[in-house]
Amino acid sequence: MKITKDLYQGSLALLTDFYQLTMAYAYWKSGKAEQEAVFNLFFRKHPFQSGFTIAAGLEYVVDFCNNFYFKDDDLSYLGQMKNADGSPVFESTFLAYLKSLNFTCDIDAVEEGTVVFPHTPLISVKGPLIQCQLLETALLNIINFQTLIATKSARVVLAAKGDSVLEFGLRRAQGIDGALAASRASYIGGCAATSNVMAGKLFGIPVSGTHAHSWIMSFDSELEAFKAYADAFPEKCVFLVDTYDTVAGIKNAIEVGKILREKGKEMLGVRIDSGDLAYFSNIAREMLDEAGFQDAQVVASNDLDEHIITSLKIQEASVSVWGVGTKLVTAYDQPALGAVYKLAAIKNQNGVWEPKVKVSQQSIKTNIPGKHQVSRFLKNGRAVADMIFLKEYMEGKTSTTIIDPIDPTKRKRINFEDFEEINLLKPIFRKGTQVYDCLKIDAIKQNAQDNLMYFDKTHKRLTNPHVYPVGLEESLYQLRTALVFKMKNYDK
């Protein structure tokens, strides 16, 4: 689908921080606008203290880039902006330049659904400085949120250990776009369906749902309400049993289930939305089994997340479908992923690429210079390490050492012939032309499941996971160290 067309009717070039436009103007003014640069988008820490992260949002990025242009009304809006002295913020010749700006960047990115780790680029953009800069905010907005929610969803789905998870978040999500993007990302992370009908239509995600307490309350009795629902939807009966008294509700559901069965239809299950979910789900299971409804599902909802689901599993709750809303779509325990977008190299006046670092007091914030490649090494189908490297340093090498970017005492020797090597960054745009077919939503979801299979369960543990090794190839590590020393004038 065309996200910009279906959702936003056209280009989103103004979906940016104002400082990107002031920098763009200043780049143009100082003759640097067309200077070639490389920017990398990466995060420094997994969200939710997770041991893994699921990349998501690339289709939005592709669509954003394909529709990256300034519309006439965008330019008029910028044109009427005034400085304090009444002069225009942007000269008209600059606005004419923006009008003629065509997207011409090269973009490499990891595919949606890929398991990713701190420091490795999810997206690498190479192109004129002004264009790279103007993409920053939107790319971060898109990737940070969808990657965050896909990861949360994968964690919830892991906790559910093979049971279906339904995403029920629309009513409490962060606005309209937040809800839609969250439904998409939740599906990528492994949810079976969404309650969000528009997300179903836009993204091709299965839609599902039960009914609310209001349905029951609108009748004189719960039994009457169940019967009426069964008349309307004989194929789709999941009865919400906790409006008045959960045990009585289960009895009523069984009674209506029997009526349905006489008509050749099967009740799908019951939903419990309050109280002790372990206690009531076990009662529901027993009562349903005893009445001959062994195939009826017990659906649970009510402020669930991966931790409550894990606890309910330990308590041997008889829940087989989990409805999860607020805590999933708002990423309740960590509302933002901290991915950043950093300049990593620039072509100087002589046409030579110069790697760049920003030196920080916190070593975790010192970026990794250069136009990166990322390899994942597998042994017997299991991922053992990811390596960030510069292609130009690899010629003729048969082995190397990868070094942790934060703690250089953590190292791993890699003999290339011992491993299967996967290159994670795929070409997405070349000179502004899309060269990659975005994966269909079901292929992305499958990619996430397949990717997770590469990783040992110790990395997927929900609390205190084992840290997966990601390192800089030794010559890149040396380059970065040398640049840091140079910028800090240690060698003077």
Ligand X SMILES: O=C(O)c1cccnc1
Q: Please state, in angstroms and rounded to a whole number, the distance separating the CA atoms of residues 184 and 287.
A: 36
Amino acid at 270: V
Return the structure tokens found at 409.
């005492």
Q: Which of residues 60-79 bind ligand ATP (CB under 6 A)?
A: none
**Minimum CB–partner distance for residue 292 and ligand X (Å):** 25
Contact range with ligand PRP by CB under 6 A, out of 109-117, 318-326, 408-416, 435-443: 318-326
Q: Closer to ligand PRP at the Cβ: 136 or 305?
A: 305
Q: Name which of residues 311 to 370 contact ligand X (CB under 6 A).
A: 323, 325
Inter-CA distances, 117 with 29, 362, 367, 432, Å: 38, 19, 15, 27
For the bound state, the minimum distance from the C-beta of residue 311 to ligand ATP, rounded and expressed in Å, comes to 5
Residue 324 binds: one of ligand ATP, ligand PRP, ligand X, none (C-beta under 5 to 8 A by kind): ligand PRP
Binding mask 470-489 for ligand X (x = CB under 6 A): --------------------
140 binds ligand ATP (CB under 6 A): no
Q: Does 168 bind ligand X (CB under 6 A)?
A: yes
- The backbone region for 162, taken as left when phi is positive above 0, alpha when psi lies in -120 to 50, beta otherwise, is left
Nearer to ligand X, 127 or 269 (CB): 269
Taking the CB of residue 283, how many other CB atoms lie within 10 A of it? Answer: 17
Stretch 281-340 residues interacting with ligand ATP (CB under 6 A): 302-304, 308, 311-312, 315
Q: Is 174 in the site for ligand PRP (CB under 6 A)?
A: no
Question: DSSP string of 304-315?
Answer: --HHHHHHHHHT
What is the nearest approach in angstroms of ligand X to the Cβ of residue 310? 21
Judged by CB under 6 A, the residue of 47, 113, 325, 469 near ligand PRP is: 325
Partner that binds at residue 315, options ligand ATP, ligand PRP, ligand X, none, CB closer than 5 to 8 Å by kind: ligand ATP
- How far apart are alpha carbons 9 and 26 in whole angstroms? 29
Separation of first and last alpha carbons in the chain: 56
CA angle 74, 132, 451 (to 5 degrees): 115
The pair of three-digit structure tokens given for residue 261, joined into one six-digit string: 């069965």
Per DSSP, the three-state class of 412 is: strand
Binding to ligand X in span 261-300, by CB under 6 A:
271
198-237: contacts with ligand X (CB under 6 A): 209-210
How far is 149 from 56, CA to CA, in rounded Å? 9
Q: Which chain residues interact with ligand ATP by CB under 6 A?
A: 274-278, 302-304, 308, 311-312, 315
